[in-house]
Structure 1
Amino acid sequence: MSVKPRVDTANMDPRDHEPESGYASATSSESSLPEIVFTKPHLQHLNRQLQFLEPQDILRWCITTLPNLYQTTAFGLTGLVITDMLSKLQVPRPQLVDLIFLDTLHHFPETLRLVDRVRERYPHINIHIFKPAGVETAEEFAKKYGERLWETNEELYDWTAKVEPAQRAYRELNVSAVLTGRRRSQGGQRGDLDVLEVDEAGLIKVNPLANWTFDQVRQYIRENNVPYNELLDRGYKSVGDWHSTQPVAEGEDERAGRWKGKEKTECGIHNPRSRYFQFLMEQEQKRREEALAQALQNKLTTGPADA
Structure 2
Amino acid sequence: MNLLEKEALIEEKAVEFESATPQEIIAWAVETFPNITFACSFGAEDVVLVDMLQKISPKADVFYLDTDFHFKETYETRDRLVERYGLKFVRVSPEITPEEQEQQYGAELWKKDPNACCDIRKVTPLSMILSKYEAWITGIRRDQALTRANAKKIEYDVKFGLVKFNPIADWSSEDVWNYIREHDLVYNPLHDQNYPSIGCEQCTRPVMPGEDPRAGRWAESEKTECGLHK
Do they fold alike, i.e. is TM over 0.5? yes
Q: CA deviation at 1:108?
A: 0.7
Give how far 1:202 is off.
Answer: 2.0
Report SS of the residue matched to 1:256.
coil
Q: Which residue of 2 aligns with 1:241?
A: 200
Q: Is the 8 A contact 1:102 1:165 kept in 2?
A: yes
Q: Does 1:203 align with 2:155?
A: no
Pairing partner for 2:128 from 124, 146, 168: 168
Structure 2 residue runs of 5 or longer lacking an equivalent are: none
Q: Deviations over 1:140-175 (max 9, x none)?
A: 44234321111222232121100111112223xx21
1:104 paired with 2:67, answer yes
Counterpart secondary structure, 1:198: strand
Distance 2:124 2:81 in 1: 25
Which residue number in structure 2 is paired with residue 146 of structure 1? 106
Task: Supply the AA of the counterpart residue of 2:83.
Answer: E
Secondary structure (helix, strand or coil) at the match of 1:147 reads: coil
User: Identity over aligned residues, as a percent?
Assistant: 36
Is the CA contact (8 Å cut-off) linking 1:188 and 1:265 kept in structure 2? no
Query: Once the two structures are superposed, what CA deviation does each residue of 1:32-77 show, in whole Å capped at 9, x if it has no partner?
Result: xxxx9523x5432211100101111111111111131100111111
Matches within 5 A, 1:12-23: none
Q: The residue matched to 2:2 in structure 1 has which SS?
A: strand
Give deviations 1:79-137, integer Å, cap 9, x for gaps.
11000011122x4x6xx2211100111111111111111111110x22111111032xx
Go from structure 1 to structure 2 and tell me whether the alpha carbon gap of 1:225 and 1:144 turns closer, same or farther (over 3 Å shift): farther
Q: 2:93 aligns with which of 121, 128, 131?
A: 131
Aligned to 1:185: 143
* Distance in 1 of aligned mates of 2:105 and 2:151: 34
Larger radius of gyration: 1
Match of 2:80 in 1: 117
Residue 303 (structure 1) aligns with: none
Please give the residue correspondences for 1:67-106 in structure 2 after superposition, counting only pairs within 5 Å: 67-89=34-56, 91=57, 96-106=59-69
- Whether 1:52 aligns to 2:19 is yes
Structure 1 residue ranges without an equivalent (≥5): 5-35, 272-307
- Calculate the aligned-residue CA RMSD, in Å: 1.8
Shift of 1:270: 1.6
- TM-score calculated relative to the size of structure 1: 0.70
8 Å Cα contact 1:73/1:79 also seen in 2: yes
Q: What is the TM-score of this pair, normalised by structure 2?
A: 0.92
Cα distance in structure 2, aligned partners of 1:145 and 1:103: 19
SS at match of 1:88: helix
Matched residue, 2:229: 270
Opposite residue 174 of structure 2, the aligned amino acid is D
